[in-house]
Amino acid sequence: MNFNPEETIATGHQPVLLHPGLLIKFELACLLARQERKKVLFLIADHDEGSADYILPQYKHPSRLIRQIHRMCRPGIYARAKILKEHVVASLQDLIEESPQIFANPESVQKGARFILELLDEDGPAQYLRVFLRQFFAPTEPSVVMVSELCKSSAFEAFAAHIHERGDTFATIHNEALRDYRKAHQIKNRAQPLPDLHPDELPFWIVKEDKRIPLTVHDDLRTLRGQILPRALSLSLFMRLHIARTFVHGTGGGRYDRIADVLLERFYNRELPPSPIATATLKIRALPHFDYDGRPVAHIQSDLRKIKADPLAFLAEDHPLRQERARILTGESSAGRHEALLNLKEKARNLVGDLAVRLAQELESATLGAGNEPALLERTYPYFCYEERDRAEVLASLIRPDR
């Protein structure tokens, strides 16, 4: 595994169905590599744990759209996982069938879903993503590497051994950098942007009985060759030191990479360029009737309560019933005053009956429209649920003028 860090641009992610905010990282890496005449490397984090959950829009009826969560594989380490083919295939086929009832441009959604279906012959999610990246970015001819393969390299073994030898120093700098970052960003959650290292703990995993446990300074690395796995921070450090000086991160990776910058300076005595950050938040282009631009639900509900309690308020100010009520309220109190007001209220209720019906219908429409918002604004559907031109606009905005 031979890469020149000065001539390589990299990015990566866990093996999932990529949404626009993830795919944009790979697209930006390819674009930068093309502009700078460098090689591009895609890294698949098959050493991580998860179930590759994905969300699809689901059509319920002509005015209702919801989000449905699906699972690509059973929870566990991705390198050992198997795709739940029957479920994934069924969910994508349902989307293909329902797309004309959801999207303004169903053809592109159907094309993208069928492309994914063709790749599901691969057994595991990591293998699927490797084939996807090679085919989707075929003109760029990217190198696609699994983290589990990277960990078997002599460079990674030397990297892990160096941190193991100076574990206390690494942990001190690591935790101090986290403390300073949390203070600067007013973060109270000690798990953000990543947890502190406990005494004797190192930024690596080892797998025992299908579970990842922390590597410690007391573990004998000679007995663990090929079994040591990086955590997010140590993976970023290794990539930037040994594989690619430029590693494109998303917003999450960008946060912990600020900790990596401190470690590069104080632990390695190195200063490297900051990592580019790529993100994209898009909205699906659904059929117009799913959108709702009317009054807020709370306002309609308030009117419905008011029309029941005080129907006269919905009559014109010069209406005889309102004038009669004003006369009664400003006159002297009498035994029949309350009954007279109730009588006026009943007459007004009959007059505004049609308006009450319209308000009830408006509330039903608004409730349905507001209920569609989570599905319409969801940003993590698979990339093909969104317009390619929208993603291209975001990509263009990420390129700095000096590049």
Task: Say if residue 401's pLDDT is above 60.
Answer: no
Region of poorest pLDDT, from 268-277, 326-335, 393-402: 393-402
274 domain-assigned: no
Exposed, middle or buried, 322 (CB in 10 Å: 0-12/13-18/19+)? Answer: middle
Same domain, yes or no: 311 and 392:
no
**pTM flag (> 0.85):** no
**44 and 90, same structural domain?**
yes
* In contact, 155 and 139? CB cutoff 8 Å: no
272, part of any domain:
no
Cα 176 from Cα 97, distance rounded (Å): 54
If asked whether residues 371 and 388 sit together in one domain, one would say no
> Do the domain assignments include residue 22?
yes
Indicate whether 14 belongs to any domain.
yes
Domain with 106 in it: 5-149+280-284+379-398
DSSP annotation of 83 reads B
Exposure string of 218-232, with b = 16+ CB inside 10 Å and e = fewer, is ebebeebeebbbbbb
Indicate if 347 and 359 belong to the same structural domain. Answer: yes
229/160 Cα distance (integer angstroms):
9
Is residue 403 included in any domain, yes or no?
A: no
Average pLDDT over residues 261-270: 95
- What are the Cα distances from residue 145, in Å, to 22, 43, 73, 237, 276? 17, 5, 21, 17, 20
Under DSSP, the state recorded for 122 is S
- Judged against a pLDDT cut of 50, whether residue 402 lies above it is answered with no
**261 in a domain, yes or no?**
yes
**Residue written as token pair 């990420």:** 398
Q: Do 273 and 248 meet the contact criterion of CB atoms below 8 Å apart?
A: no
In this predicted model, what pLDDT tens digit does every residue of 200-234 receive, in sequence order?
Answer: 999 999 988 778 899 999 999 999 988 999 999 99
Model pLDDT for residues 46-89, shown as the tens digit of each residue: 999 898 999 999 998 777 899 999 999 999 999 999 999 999 99
Distance, CA of 349 to CA of 362 (rounded, Å)? 19
Q: Are residues 135 and 246 located together in one domain of the fold?
A: no
Compute the mean pLDDT over every residue in the chain, rounded to the nearest whole number.
92
Q: How far is CA 3 from CA 248, 257, 270, 308, in A?
A: 16, 21, 19, 74
Per the DSSP assignment, residues forming a β-bridge with 216 are 201
Closest to 373 in 3D by CA, of 314, 304, 293: 293
In a domain, 223, yes or no: yes
The verdict on 46 and 140 lying in the same domain is: yes
Amino acid at 204: F
Q: Do 141 and 189 belong together in one domain?
A: no
The domain total for the chain is 3
Let me know if residue 271 belongs to a domain.
no
- For residue 127, is pLDDT > 80? yes
19 and 127 share a domain?
Answer: yes
**One domain, residues 169 and 255:** yes
Q: What is the pLDDT of residue 1?
A: 65
3 state DSSP class of 10: strand
> Do both 198 and 67 map to the same domain?
no
Residue 368 amino acid letter: L
pLDDT band at 39 (very low <50, low <70, confident <90, very high): very high
Q: Which is it for strands 201-208 and 228-230: parallel, antiparallel or unpaired? A: antiparallel
What does the pLDDT average to over 236-248? 95
CA dihedral of 143, 144, 150, 153, whole degrees rounded to 10: -30
Tell whether 157 and 181 lie within a shared domain.
Answer: yes
Query: Same domain, yes or no, for 38 and 120?
Result: yes
